[in-house]
Every structure is written in structure tokens, then in C-alpha cells.
């Protein structure tokens, strides 16, 4: 661009463009000499100094072990609004942590890599809990990622409010009838909403799907490997009738029915909710980010009706970019194994991670589901015992019952669309006394049939 500009504006603009041309282009991974570079997302921000340093130290240790692999960390994290643009622009880091719910649709859209070969080649990764691995396994046995933490849907409850209402926090509700009566008692005795349900941002559908499992039906069944919509089943109807009665007969669900996950966590953290149906991995969020007293945090497994199928499972998965080369895929899988999974088999790693977390004021030993078999998990818990900083005695009951309740994966196809379509159904039942449950579910059934037929 060496044209002579003839006016102020053009001069400035051309100068700008010339300066731009000096900007570097994106570098590519993989060099000629067998060395490979990968980028990893989810580097903790500076306000979590110890966790950030722990990751950086891990990278150092990893590179000592694998001198050919260069790992560059960035603070990029999963966000549904930017992920597609990130993939399109090729700026997705080689490794990124993604919610389990997204895995199937991302895999089917070809936006993340199939790493089944790499996982099967790894001793530790192939030993991961098979129940959990189903959630990241595609219809043709592809593996779209490595689960790095798992939770099941259950009841979070506020122990202080239970006591205030005259309920025993060590005997939380185990049937839906008990949930309803506890919610009513809490509302009547304390004025706090007894049961808070999430309704927006697809979490209404997520909650209803989990309740449907607990009442005994799936939202999508499978016929010869093809998924079939099963939205208008009896259990979904029963779950919605339960919500309807709690809302219009007992009035024990509070007044706010536009609830995102952040809203519900705020309500719970502030002691303005007796029970919340949510993921059971929110101890840290409630205590650290929302200032809740650790002693008030209670957990109970998802109550199962007669013939209940189990608890809906979810969690976070580390995925590999679809554009990664074979070398990068291999390096990325090694890194995930080293950084996330090895702590269950390597005492030094387990202790280092626990130390860093407790130094950051993050909870160590918070209740969750084991990624690995029971024996390995018990051993891991022994290693980190000195650093545990949560009132584990409050979670013993939950931990003992959680193993008896199977983990049921989310619908394998179009889960997000299903949830999005169910949000309004849950909202309708909560905001309109005359909501016709069967008709509402019938509409969603029709929508899902169309979607699944594609």
C-alpha cells in the first residue's frame, strides 16, 4: 500500500493499516523436529493465585517429563456464546474444559476431536469409571473427552433453616412426599421458600428431566440405537403434578419463578431457600463465592420414587480441539491425564493440588462423585486427609447413599433443545394455575419428534 494519500483521513487510515500489517499471525502447533506445542484453556485468573501457580508448576513438571511437548496456558474458558466463533476462528485452545451436557452435540457437530484411540492407549484413562465414561461416548463409540469431575443431581438444603423449622438436618427427605411436607413446613415456620426450582437458561428442563428419571422414566428412549422422543411420559406428568401441588396447594416454592442457576445459588447462599434441586458439587460455590456458613450446607441424594431410575449425572469434561493434529491430540491427552487424573494414582500430585486449593481458600474434600473406582478413591482421600477443610461429617449420609443410586446420563441427542423446550413448561406450571400439563408436554413431544427425525 504505497499510494500517496491526498488527505488527512486517508493518511491516518493507511498508516493504521500499515501498522496492522505488522501484526503477527497465529502460530501453528507441531514442528519438524518431533516437538509439539499445545495450548490449554481454563488457567485460573490471578485472584486465585495459588491454583494458578499450581497449574503453572504442573506445566513445568509435565514438560520435564515430556521435553518434546510445549504447553502454553491461557485464561480462555467455555462460554456457549463464544465457543462457535472460537472454533470457527481456530482460536480454541487445544484443551478446554466443557460442561458434560454439551459433549454429545459438540461431538456430533464435529467441533471437538474423537480421542478414543488416545484414551484406550492410556493405562490411567482407560481405567476411568465406565458409568461416567458413557456420558462422553458417542453413538459410534467415539470418545469426545475426559471427564475431570462429576456430580449427580440431588438436593442441596440449608441445615440451619431445617433446624429453625423443627426438621432434623441429619434426616433429609428421602421420598417426594417428604420433600413436599418439608418444603411446606419450612415455608410455614420460617417464611423462607421451602423448595426452590431453577426454571431458566435450560435448567428448568434439566431439573424436570432429573425429576422424571427419579419418578421412573427417560425423556429419550432408544430403539435399535436410534433415540426416540418420550417427553409425554407418566413420570414427567407426575413430576409436574408434584410441582403444581407444591406451588398452588402448599405455596411452598416462593415467589420467583425466573431462576437461572446463579439466581438459585444466590438465594441458597443467602439462606433464602430451604431446599434446591441442583448439582451436588456446589459446596465450594456456596461457601467461597456466596459467603455461606460451611456448617449450614447440607446435601441429600435425589429421592427415588417407586421404580425410580436414578440420579441425572453431569460434570465437566476436558475436550480436544477438532483442528488438533495427531501429535497434538496425543500430547493433549497426555496432559489431561497428567494434570487431572494422575492425582488419583500419584500421592505427590494429590497432595500438591490439595495444598494449593486450601491455600486459595477453596474447599478440599467437598462432596462429589468419584471419577475412579472405590479403592483408588479411598486411597486418594487418605492422601488428602490432612488438608480437608470441609465439615465432612455433614456429608457422610450423602456419601453412603450415593453409591446405591445409579447415575443416569443426560439425553444423548439434542439435550439442550429438549431442556430449552421444557423451560417454558416448568414456568407455565409455576405461573399459571390452569396450566394443562399433558398439552404442554404433548407440544414438546411433537417438537422433539421433529428434531430427532432429522
Residue (70 or 131) nearer to other proteins, CB: 70
Residue among 288 and 452 whose Cβ is closer to other proteins = 288
For residues 164 and 443, which CB has a smaller minimum distance to other proteins in the complex?
A: 443
Closest to other proteins by CB, 110 vs 307, is: 110
Tell the smallest beta-carbon distance from residue 420 to other proteins (Å): 6
Dihedral Cα 175, 176, 177, 178, nearest 10 deg: 60
Q: Which is nearer to other proteins, 65 or 109 (CB)?
A: 109
The C-alpha torsion from 266 through 270 and 273 to 279, rounded to 10°, is 50
DSSP 193-207: -SEE---STTHHHHH
Residue 132 near residue 371 (C-beta atoms within 8 A): yes
Q: Which residue number, 68 or 75, has a Cβ lying nearer to other proteins?
A: 75
Query: What cell numbers appear for 391 in the block?
Result: 465439615
Question: Measured from the CB atom, is 84 or 401 closer to other proteins?
Answer: 84
> 414: phi > 0 → left, psi -120 to 50 → alpha, else beta; which?
left
Q: Which is nearer to other proteins, 379 or 416 (CB)?
A: 416
The least distance separating other proteins from the CB of residue 62, rounded to whole angstroms, comes to 22
**Rounded Cα distance, 335 and 125, in Å:** 11
- Buried b / exposed e over 317-334, threshold 16 CB at 10 Å, is bbbbbbebbebbbbbbbb
Q: What is the 3-state secondary structure (H, E, C) of 306-320?
A: CCCCCEEEEEEEEEE
Rounded to 5°, angle at Cα 426 from 425 and 432: 85
| DSSP letter assigned to residue 411 | P
Q: In what helix (H) or strand (E) does residue 163 lie, and over which residues does it extend?
A: helix 159-164
Closer by beta carbon to other proteins, 30 or else 271: 271
Hey, which residues does 301 pair with through a beta bridge? 154
Residue 192 CB, shortest distance to other proteins, in Å, is 10
Q: How far is the CB of 306 from other proteins (least distance, A)?
A: 31
Point out which residues pair with 314 in neighbouring strands.
Answer: 151
Q: How far is the CB of 138 from other proteins (least distance, A)?
A: 15
Give the nearest distance from C-beta 145 to other proteins in angstroms: 16
CA distances from 163 to 61, 186, 341 (A): 48, 9, 39
Minimum gap (Å) between residue 382 Cβ and other proteins: 29
To other proteins, the closest distance from the beta carbon of 3 in angstroms equals: 10
CB of 299 to other proteins, least distance (A): 20
Amino acid at each position: 500500500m504505497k499510494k500517496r494519500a491526498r488527505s488527512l483521513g486517508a493518511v491516518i487510515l493507511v498508516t493504521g493499516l500499515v501498522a496492522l500489517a505488522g501484526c503477527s499471525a497465529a502460530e501453528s502447533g507441531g514442528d519438524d523436529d518431533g516437538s509439539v506445542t499445545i495450548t490449554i484453556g481454563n488457567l485460573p485468573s490471578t485472584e486465585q493465585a495459588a491454583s494458578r501457580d499450581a497449574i503453572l508448576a504442573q506445566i513445568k513438571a509435565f514438560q520435564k517429563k515430556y521435553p518434546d511437548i510445549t504447553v502454553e496456558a491461557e485464561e480462555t474458558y467455555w462460554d456457549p456464546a463464544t465457543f462457535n466463533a472460537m472454533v470457527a476462528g481456530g482460536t480454541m485452545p487445544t484443551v478446554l474444559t466443557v460442561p458434560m451436557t454439551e459433549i454429545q452435540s459438540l461431538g456430533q457437530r464435529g467441533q471437538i476431536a474423537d480421542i478414543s484411540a488416545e484414551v484406550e492407549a492410556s493405562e490411567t484413562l482407560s481405567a476411568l469409571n465406565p458409568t461416567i465414561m458413557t456420558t462422553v461416548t458417542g453413538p459410534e463409540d467415539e470418545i469426545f473427552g475426559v471427564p475431570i469431575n462429576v456430580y449427580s443431581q440431588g438436593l442441596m438444603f440449608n441445615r440451619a433453616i431445617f433446624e429453625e423449622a423443627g426438621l432434623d438436618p441429619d434426616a433429609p427427605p428421602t421420598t417426594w412426599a417428604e420433600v413436599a411436607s418439608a418444603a411446606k413446613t419450612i415455608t410455614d415456620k420460617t417464611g423462607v421458600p421451602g423448595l426452590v426450582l431453577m426454571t431458566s437458561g435450560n435448567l428448568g428442563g434439566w431439573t424436570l428431566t432429573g425429576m422424571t428419571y427419579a419418578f421412573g422414566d427417560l425423556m429419550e428412549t432408544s430403539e435399535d440405537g436410534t433415540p426416540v422422543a418420550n417427553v409425554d411420559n407418566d413420570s414427567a406428568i407426575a413430576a409436574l403434578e408434584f410441582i403444581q401441588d407444591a406451588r398452588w396447594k402448599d405455596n411452598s416454592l416462593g415467589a420467583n419463578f425466573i431462576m437461572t442457576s446463579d439466581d438459585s445459588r444466590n438465594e441458597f447462599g443467602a439462606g433464602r431457600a430451604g431446599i434446591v434441586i441442583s448439582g451436588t458439587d456446589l459446596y465450594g460455590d456456596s461457601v467461597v463465592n456466596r459467603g455461606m456458613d460451611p456448617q449450614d450446607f447440607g446435601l441429600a441424594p435425589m429421592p427415588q420414587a417407586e421404580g425410580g431410575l436414578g440420579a441425572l449425572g453431569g460434570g465437566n469434561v476436558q475436550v480436544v480441539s477438532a483442528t488438533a493434529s495427531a501429535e497434538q491430540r496425543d500430547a493433549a491427552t497426555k496432559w489431561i491425564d497428567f494434570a487431572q487424573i494422575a492425582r488419583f494414582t500419584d500421592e505427590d500430585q494429590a497432595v500438591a493440588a490439595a495444598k494449593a486449593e486450601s491455600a486459595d481458600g477453596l474447599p478440599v474434600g467437598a462432596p462429589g462423585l468419584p471419577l475412579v473406582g472405590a479403592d483408588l478413591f479411598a486411597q486418594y482421600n487418605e492422601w488428602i486427609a490432612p488438608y480437608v477443610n470441609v465439615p465432612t461429617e455433614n456429608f457422610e449420609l450423602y456419601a453412603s447413599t450415593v453409591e446405591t443410586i445409579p447415575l443416569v446420563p443426560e439425553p444423548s441427542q439434542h439435550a439442550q433443545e429438549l431442556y430449552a423446550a421444557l423451560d417454558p413448561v416448568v414456568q407455565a406450571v409455576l405461573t399459571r394455575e390452569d396450566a394443562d400439563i399433558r398439552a404442554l408436554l404433548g407440544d414438546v413431544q411433537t417438537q422433539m419428534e421433529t428434531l430427532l427425525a432429522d
